[in-house]
A and B are shown apart, each in its own frame.
Chain A
Amino acid sequence: MADDKKFAGFICTGCGIGDRLDGGRLETTAKRDGKMQEVKSSEMLCNAEGVKMIQDEIDGGATHVMIAACSRRAKVEAFNFPTVAMTRANLREGVIWVRPDTDEHRETTQEMADDYIRMACAEARSMKAPSPSGEQELNKHILVVGGGVTGMSAALESAAAGYPVTLVEKTGALGGHLAQLYKKSPGKAAPRGLPNALDAEFPGLEDTGVEGLIQQVEENANITVHLNSTLTKTQGAPGRFKAEIATESGSTTEAEFGAIVQASGFTPYDANQLPEFGYGKSPDVVTNLELEKLAKEAAGGPIKRPSDGKEVKSVAFVQCAGQRSEKKGHLPYCSGFCCTTSIKQAIYFKEQNADCDTTVLYTDLRTPGAAGEDFYRAGQQKMVTFSKGEVSEVAADGGLKVKFKDLILDEDTEMDADLVVLATGQVANTGPDPYAQLAFEEAEEGSEEKETLRKALEVAPPSILNLEYRQGTDLPLLKHGFADSHFICFPYETRRTGIYAAGPVRRPMDIQQARDDAAGAAMKAIQAAENAGKGRAAHPRSGDLSFPTFRSEGCTQCKRCTVECPFGAINEDEKGYPVYNESRCRRCGTCMGACPVRVISFENYSVETVGQQIKNVDIPDEFDEKPRILVLACENDAYPALDQAAMSGVEINPWARVIPVRCLGSVNLSWITDSLNNGFDGIVLMGCQKGDDYQCHFVRGSAIAHERMSKVGDTLESLNLEPERVAVYEVAITDLERAPKLINDMAETIDKVGMSPFKF
């Protein structure tokens, strides 16, 4: 096979590279050290002529291509050769733009460039062009879990795009909470240019439209609905999910799906935890959802209070009831829909009887969405009183007395009301925490920890998906029990590839947002099914054809990879060997970083491809006073930050050699040990922000890397090296000043602690 390989190197001397560096020497380095059989230079490699030069070489049999030019993030359209293994040496952003253009620096700048060429050549020599495994099939069938407004919308969106849908709803009817509402808040803002007059027609109450929505779902030939049904088993991967749908009566259906949308919605907050607001003490204190029932019963007539059926003449709305509060049992977050809902409900009263006094007591009135502000004004037009006040108590002996602090008038005061409505929030309707399940399994039998976990799991909600995954039955949770999903960077994404969360299970939201969410998640699901059919990765390495494989003969069944995979992609067979599910994999390489025996690799990214780059850096003699710093930078944030810093001319010391990694989670400890042994003087690792506010594209990669690197001290100690030689940082894509500074700080550290003694 080795004979089939043909290596070709291309060096660009444009963008000032030729002026700053000795092109001839670069060519020699690529040939002699990099072992490229053919090396060609171009004054502008990215133009049509340059690209043709490379293509001609590929057509002539080149299988491995090394391009020494700009950053791998630049000119990706020009340098797109999917049939060959390709590497990039970053001479522009990585070398000439970060070094001063003076004679005294000429030598070290050239050394940097030569090293990057050696590294890129070595990387090319140790990789293969990725190709799909061929094991995948396209399955366009989408499974939607939940028949509320989100689930129905997701089903309709998928069906409209030509993807058949199976919708599973656990109750006996479609509609969810939407079906319980009397009316809904408007979805559209007032027309543009509406004059601000007192009689301006602002958007008002709307029919919920739930019947129409249900009818559309029922009539859609592309949608199959299972009522009174749950998922008793879900296994497989995108493109080949297999689910068992069981009805209440016990009959089961099995079907295969390409992807899944989980729209399991929310559970209303339990207002029994709010005795201070009179809930449970007086029947005239109700939650917002309970008020919908009263309004439905009234059907446009006067709303009656539950205690004695008297017509309500005054009503107070208590916003943020049990929400946005750190008190025990309260929800710490804002549910986002309740202010608009209270406006809507106040209008129920005002439209029926304009003389009914309606007061909304809020601390911050939040009306998200296009129609929010206009609807607020609609409420004000109807003389709903909005009062910035913090309610401390609803006294329920005799009539209702709402005690509150008026925050504008800065005084403690109180008001009487016939009815009090508590604007309570949404609790995500998720399954049990899969990591608690995993931890329970891993915990030692009989240990205290195991007991605690057992108790926690006993009171956990029932599973929704019943995934047969190594890492538990359901979607992992992030903040406040909502299904994991980075709400800005990657909405709908979860840590279970091909399963997308939509609606209030992902974050609290209103009807309009849930519908938008449903559309987004449906599109994601379709994309996942299509990608799986082509053997391509889903977000964030969209289109990546490489996938991890392992050498079973070396594997010790240690389970590190199956436990640490952030996406739960790897199952275990009976013997404890990992079972990869290619289309569940996001290609981050966290498994590769985890493997103590280094048997996991991708065709184009492996312990070897990075290890060879490290080994091919030229390490000058200790007395040359030219230290070497290895920088392993996350390709998603840290590496682009360095590129951008280079564009703005931020300097980096000439000792740094930067290698982009897919995720800090993929960093194998052997790279650290090898580089220290090879004489590197310092190592800087740059990953993304970890924790609840993570920015890691692979969710846990950065956190896992930090944990692993905390153990690197032992290695350093055994080598008798100073611990400050290895530093791990969280770097954001915006850290243009900081990222280079961290590398330069390491140079200063080396200045202080001295050169590594391991230079041979």
Chain B
Amino acid sequence: MSDLNTAMTAKYRNNFLKEVEANVEEGEWVKMCMQCGVCSGSCPLGKHWEHPPQEIFMMIRAGKRDDVLKSDSMWMCTSCYNCIVRCPRELPITHIMHGLANYAKRMGLAPKSQPTNQFSQLFWDNMMKKGRVNELKLGLSLYFKDGFGDGVKNAMANQQLGMNMMKAKRMAPMEIIGGHSLKDVSGFQKMIKKAHEIEDQNIQDFS
């Protein structure tokens, strides 16, 4: 059977749906979507999604694994929870979108230059260092994510904003050295490491 035919027989089969059920946060709910589209209509950034949630759910059930996981759509979620409270089937749509985004990253399929993908990782890494987020460093790392040149440009563009924040005592330049931290950073980091290990073990292989 040619590759094309394999792809064809996998269509509208439960393969990818089962993978999502097993490996994606709250993925067991995908099958319960009734395709009303209220989620898509309720999303504040709806117009920016190439595939709004309703479509993502249908694509999962149609077996479109690559199209879903490579999509930048899930990264448009602002976590406003509008879809969740309006879904007549009470699907945890926000979490499913976060879960799909995370799983796409795990599978190495998430669009690498997608800004929210990058920011999300920066946020996590920043937090992991001291157990608390250092806003100043997070901001700077975001500005400099595309290299030094862009970083200076971004920083200049947001210079006024930074000055305003400092004047209002809502940004502290001293945070650049040290900053707020947990006492038990090492216990914290060990805990998260363990959580990652458990999660990795629970991922089922569908390849």
Contact = CB atoms under 8 A, between A and B. Distances in A.
Given A376-B34, A385-B61, A414-B11, A408 B55 contact: yes
A21 to B, nearest CB: 58
B25 interface: no
Interface in B60-100: 61-62, 64, 89-90
A381 B21 CA distance: 12
Contacts of A215: none
B186 interface: no
Contacts of B118: none
B35 interface: yes
A406 B62 contact: yes
B33 to A, nearest CB: 8
A489 interface: no
B14 A414 contact: no
A414 B8 contact: yes
A460 interface: no
Interface in B1-53: 8-9, 11-14, 17-18, 28-29, 31-32, 34-35
B59 interface: yes
Interface in A639-659: none
Contacts of B34: 365, 376, 380, 386
A359 B12 contact: yes
B89 A409 contact: no
A388 B35 contact: yes
A198 B55 contact: no
Contacts of A381: 31-32
Nearest to B21: A383
B110 interface: no
A409 B32 contact: no
B12 A415 contact: yes
Interface string A365-381: 10000000000110011
B24 to A, nearest CB: 14
B32 A377 contact: yes
Contact of A380 (B13, B32, B64): B32
Contacts of B62: 387, 406, 409, 413
Contacts of A416: 8-9, 11
Given A387-B62, A409-B58, A196 B11 contact: no
B71 to A, nearest CB: 13
B116 interface: no
Tell me whether chain B's interface is mostly helix, strand or loop, or mixed.
helix
A137 to B, nearest CB: 57
B126 interface: no
Given A196-B89, A376-B34, A409-B59, A385 B28 contact: no
Given A386-B34, A388-B35, A409-B55, A198 B29 contact: yes
A355 B14 CA distance: 8
B58 A406 contact: yes
Interface residues of B, number: 23
Contacts of B141: none
A385 B17 contact: yes
Contacts of B55: 408-409
B14 A380 contact: no
B117 interface: no
B70 to A, nearest CB: 15
A416 B29 CA distance: 26
B134 interface: no
Contacts of B58: 387-388, 406, 408-409
A383 B9 contact: no
A22 interface: no
Contacts of B12: 316, 357, 359, 385, 387, 415
A357 B14 contact: yes
B11 A415 contact: yes
A388 B89 CA distance: 17
A143 to B, nearest CB: 45
A314 interface: yes
A314 B61 contact: no
B61 A413 contact: no
A274 to B, nearest CB: 21
A10 B89 CA distance: 64
Given A385-B61, A408-B54, A357 B32 contact: no
B61 A387 contact: yes
A614 B29 CA distance: 72
Nearest to B87: A196
B35 to A, nearest CB: 6
Nearest to B12: A415
Contacts of A383: 14, 17-18, 31
A357 B29 contact: no
Interface in A279-324: 314, 316
Contacts of B8: 414-416
Interface of A: 196, 198, 314, 316, 355, 357, 359, 365, 376-377, 380-381, 383, 385-388, 406, 408-409, 413-416
Given A388-B58, A409-B64, 14 more contacts: A198-B32, A359-B12, A376-B34, A377-B32, A383-B14, A385-B14, A385-B61, A386-B34, A387-B61, A387-B62, A408-B54, A414-B8, A415-B8, A416-B9
Interface of B: 8-9, 11-14, 17-18, 28-29, 31-32, 34-35, 54-55, 58-59, 61-62, 64, 89-90
Q: Which 8 pairs across A and B sit closest by C-beta, in order of nearness?
A: A408-B58, A415-B12, A196-B90, A357-B13, A415-B11, A359-B12, A385-B61, A380-B32
13 contacts: A198-B32, A357-B12, A383-B14, A383-B17, A385-B17, A386-B34, A386-B61, A387-B12, A387-B58, A387-B62, A413-B62, A415-B12, A416-B9
